[in-house]
Chain A
Amino acid sequence: MLTLSIWMGAIITLCCFSFLFKDNPFYRFAEHLFVGVSAGYYFSAISFHQVLKPNLLAKLFPASFGSGQEALAAPELWLIVPTILGILMLFRLSQELAWVSRFTVAFVMGVTTGLTIVLSTHQFLIPQIKKAIVPLFLKGQYIASFSNWVLVIGSIACLFYFFFSTEHRGPIYGTVSRVGIWYLMISFGAAFGATVMGRISLLIGRFQFLLQDWLKLI
């Protein structure tokens, strides 16, 4: 069984590497297989076994789906409401009745937006604003002062850049938004470098698998 899984892994790895030559049916097979397996795993293992079964079915029909003490508990009938909302989502499959699913979507969007606004404000927005308010001159600490200048100028310039209501022209607005682009480019470059490093470590892992586990050369 282990040998079979190693051979399958090696063949699929080679199928993926074949894209380096050019787009070909082996690579397409690998990507379709990945999508199919991911979808199957997500819908069966995660959506059903980790979400639907423990959170809905085991509580609504404890005798049939519950295990241990859970099976003896009384059914939680209020869960019929989310069940109905979930079923309404399936109406998206029909072109004429797709509007019915908007009830569920409206509920989900409303609750999610309300919760996310509060959470994001507390977890991201306020801490980020706090960290951007730093002293620009620190006595004797030239590097720390320079770092604070870079942070403050970068924050302001990037905010200017993402303000699209006015055209990025003029001596102040145009210049500051141009500085914002430079900051963005540097951060994109750093992100790209980190991505390349990550991909290379993945490549090393694959080569280790091929040469060590499959071919047993090292």
Chain B
Amino acid sequence: MGMWTIPETPPKDEKFSAEEIDSFIQTFAKEIVRRKMSVPAVIALEMAKPLSFLGHSACVVMGPLIEMVFDPKKIEKMTSILSERCHIERLLETIETMENSVEKAGG
């Protein structure tokens, strides 16, 4: 593996298993598709993807305050998703897959 290669699978997360992250991504994508917000969500995620690490860092810094309002477990999972770009890629794919299946079911 050369210096230009960033591993495609993220390093093993100590806090959450891959299944937990996957299930969170599924729930997240489901809510976006349910609200018919797939297009803006995909645009926003594609735009913000290169800056995901900054989002992750902001979540870590603001965590103690955000956790007062939202479920701390969900915030930690969101932080974990933002920490690796491949998680965001998976979220994008999940949204697109769900949107396609909804369209097929509707059509």
Q: Could you tell me which A residues sit within 8 Å of B by CB distance? A: 19, 22-25, 27-28, 31-32, 34-35, 39, 89, 92, 101, 105, 109, 164, 181, 184-185, 188, 192, 195
Query: 11 A-B Cβ contacts within 8 A?
Result: A22-B6, A24-B3, A24-B6, A25-B3, A25-B6, A31-B51, A32-B53, A34-B54, A35-B54, A188-B39, A195-B47
Q: Could you tell me which B residues sit within 8 Å of A by CB distance? A: 3-4, 6, 35-36, 39-40, 43, 47, 50-51, 53-54, 57, 61, 64-65, 68, 85
Given contacts A181-B36, A184-B40, A192-B47, 8 further A-B contacts (CB under 8 A): A19-B50, A22-B4, A23-B85, A24-B3, A35-B54, A101-B64, A185-B39, A195-B47
Contacts of B35 in A (CB 8 A): 164
How close is A160's CB to chain B, nearest CB, in angstroms? Answer: 13
Considering the complex of A and B, which 5 residue pairs feature the smallest CB-CB distances, nearest first? A188-B40, A35-B57, A23-B6, A31-B53, A24-B4
Q: Are B53 and A109 in contact (CB under 8 A)?
A: no
Using known A-B contacts A25-B3, A188-B40, determine if residue A39 contacts B61 with beta carbons closer than 8 Å: yes
Bound Cα distance from A147 to B3, whole angstroms: 57
Of A25, A34, A188, the residue contacting B4 (CB under 8 A) is A25
Bound Cα distance from A109 to B85, whole angstroms: 33
Q: Are B6 and A92 in contact (CB under 8 A)?
A: no
Contacts of B40 in A (CB 8 A): 184-185, 188
Using known A-B contacts A22-B4, A24-B4, determine if residue A31 contacts B43 with beta carbons closer than 8 Å: no
Contacts of A31 in B (CB 8 A): 51, 53-54
Interface of B is mostly: helix
Interface of A is mostly: helix
Bound Cα distance from A34 to B39, whole angstroms: 30
Using known A-B contacts A31-B53, A35-B54, A188-B40, determine if residue A92 contacts B64 with beta carbons closer than 8 Å: yes
Q: Are B54 and A28 in contact (CB under 8 A)?
A: no
Bound Cα distance from A39 to B56, whole angstroms: 13
How close is A218's CB to chain B, nearest CB, in angstroms? Answer: 27
Of B43, B57, B61, B68, the residue contacting A109 (CB under 8 A) is B68
Bound Cα distance from A35 to B54, whole angstroms: 7
Nearest to B8 among chain A residues (CB) is A23
Contacts of A92 in B (CB 8 A): 64
Contacts of A164 in B (CB 8 A): 35
Contacts of A28 in B (CB 8 A): 6, 53
Contacts of A105 in B (CB 8 A): 64-65, 68
Contacts of B57 in A (CB 8 A): 35, 39
Contacts of A22 in B (CB 8 A): 4, 6
Nearest to B57 among chain A residues (CB) is A35
Contacts of A23 in B (CB 8 A): 6, 85
